[in-house]
Chain A
């Protein structure tokens, strides 16, 4: 059943350019996938390690600016992407060393401060970042001779990266390291007593989370062919966190659902609803009230409840004896 659902989802995603109804909507799905990669990366930290970051847009931006600056300096796309991701991981390591000195509110505040620091650099280091004007890309890459200039071409490249990230995280979640990571989220003291190195496990999770944010940042830059300090703002970090929480943290589908919700509201509903920000806020309030665990786990709970209720109506005696 699970495999059939996955195959169906993959078929739907592969056929997006056929059914989406034009390049505008194909681009929207590309945006959703980029946001989903960003949210999945953040979820490694928030959902699996139990550490809430409000500075991930900074890491996203480091990778985006890294590519932009390297391309501007005359490097090729591959070198620029590799250097940008390496820079992003190095920045993440620095973030992690500073932030993992604490947990809880302290961790949130340190990541918030570090994110703001990077945002400030993007604004003020004008020689490098061109400040508020941002940096534009001359062109998109053409891996293996395949042009990414069209909406469809870029969508398929984004989908391939998205599926690779999703698969990697699915493997990780089911692995012994994934179990160790979730253990440090639930009972760090017990995990230490069992012999686990809680700090290093969290550090590695932070690096992976930063890498995913960097990948999303690179895709974001190529999608827009432009990067400005706005991408590193606190609101961008908060938006990614809302995607994770609204969709369901600690799950793989949750951040994807959250990303789809936010991007759809921003890019599609905003064309029809003047106060789309208010609507999005109202949706978040409803999620918190009725599905505090997030859309995906909440929907599963609802489905189980409906299934049990239907079963009970069909066979009241069995339902009663079953408790």
Chain B
């Protein structure tokens, strides 16, 4: 089944057309890599899929349901989660609190004004378990601002996974990480079960190519090449657009 189906998606900022009739179909469980030079429209595409931007035309469907008109928060409830190129978490709060917020996002408990958050044993336990899954349980009570960039990136991915997504959008998850940190994030993503479909934007080909089942190459707001890894890498248009040859 097609997890994410995008048809003829258009978006312009004034006179600048940033998405030009984008078509994309990602199958359930697939690992899709989206590459392209800066300004190709990759993050804009993520913002359109996640509902942070409203398209001028075209449709976005999640498991067959048209979500084009739905606000971003409703898409999260339907199983769409994302990470950002620039980490946007809660630096003053502890790692545990960051995870708790993520778990609360889809729980009716988030509206409760009288219960004590600290007394929600099941929620606290699950948040600690999520931190354990990424090897950061020992830092649970430390403010996020006192952790390394790589640890924050892992927390961000753990938060997205805590949303129990069916489709996960990863915007340059390896950007700015050291080699060791890349290995940690790589292992984290490799452990994600196949029932979660993942779409990743990444510039680091060494780590990204291993991840991908299929690759889409974007240029000037269009998907210009799409296919299996070897075919896309061998395609002369990829070399021309992405590698500048």
Q: How far is the CB of B178 from chain A (nearest CB, A)?
A: 24
Q: How far is the CB of B70 from chain A (nearest CB, A)?
A: 12
**B117 contacts A179, C-beta separation under 8 Å:** yes
- A303 at interface (Cβ–Cβ under 8 A)? no
The one of A171, A176, A192 that contacts B110, using a Cβ cutoff of 8 Å: A176
| Chain B 69-84 interface mask (CB, 8 Å, partner A; 1/0) | 0011100110001101
**A197 contacts B73, C-beta separation under 8 Å:** yes
- A61 at interface (Cβ–Cβ under 8 A)? no
Q: How far is the CB of B62 from chain A (nearest CB, A)?
A: 14
Name the CB-closest residue of A to B74: A195
Instruction: Please provide the chain B residues from 100 to 123 with a CB less than 8 Å away from any CB of chain A in the complex.
Output: 100-102, 104-107, 109-118, 120
**A193 contacts B50, C-beta separation under 8 Å:** yes
> Which of chain B's residues have a CB closer than 8 A to the CB of A196?
73, 104-105, 110
Interface residues on B, range: 35 or more
A-B interface pairs (CB < 8 A), number: 86
- B209 at interface (Cβ–Cβ under 8 A)? no
| Chain A 114-141 interface mask (CB, 8 Å, partner B; 1/0) | 0000000000000000000000000000
Q: Give the distance in Å from the alpha carbon of A172 to the alpha carbon of B110 in the complex.
A: 12
**A179 contacts B113, C-beta separation under 8 Å:** no
- B45 at interface (Cβ–Cβ under 8 A)? no
> Which of chain A's residues have a CB closer than 8 A to the CB of B112?
175-177
**A194 contacts B163, C-beta separation under 8 Å:** yes
- A249 at interface (Cβ–Cβ under 8 A)? no
Instruction: Please provide the chain B residues from 201 to 232 with a CB less than 8 Å away from any CB of chain A in the complex.
Output: none
- B137 at interface (Cβ–Cβ under 8 A)? no
Q: Contacts A192-B73, A195-B163, A196-B73 known; A175 to B114 CB distance under 8 Å? A: yes
- A180 at interface (Cβ–Cβ under 8 A)? yes
- B134 at interface (Cβ–Cβ under 8 A)? no
- A174 at interface (Cβ–Cβ under 8 A)? yes
| Chain A 298-322 interface mask (CB, 8 Å, partner B; 1/0) | 0000000000000000000000000
Name the CB-closest residue of A to B106: A195
Q: List residues of chain B with CB under 8 Å of any chain A CB.
A: 50, 52, 71-73, 76-77, 81-82, 84, 88-90, 92-93, 97, 100-102, 104-107, 109-118, 120, 159, 163
Q: A176-B112, A176-B117 are in contact. List 5 more A-B contacts (CB 8 A).
A: A176-B115, A177-B110, A183-B101, A190-B89, A194-B76
The contact sample of 8 A-B pairs, CB cut-off 8 A, is A175-B112, A175-B117, A189-B52, A192-B72, A192-B76, A193-B52, A196-B105, A197-B73
Q: List residues of chain A with CB under 8 Å of any chain B CB.
A: 171-172, 174-180, 183, 186-187, 189-198
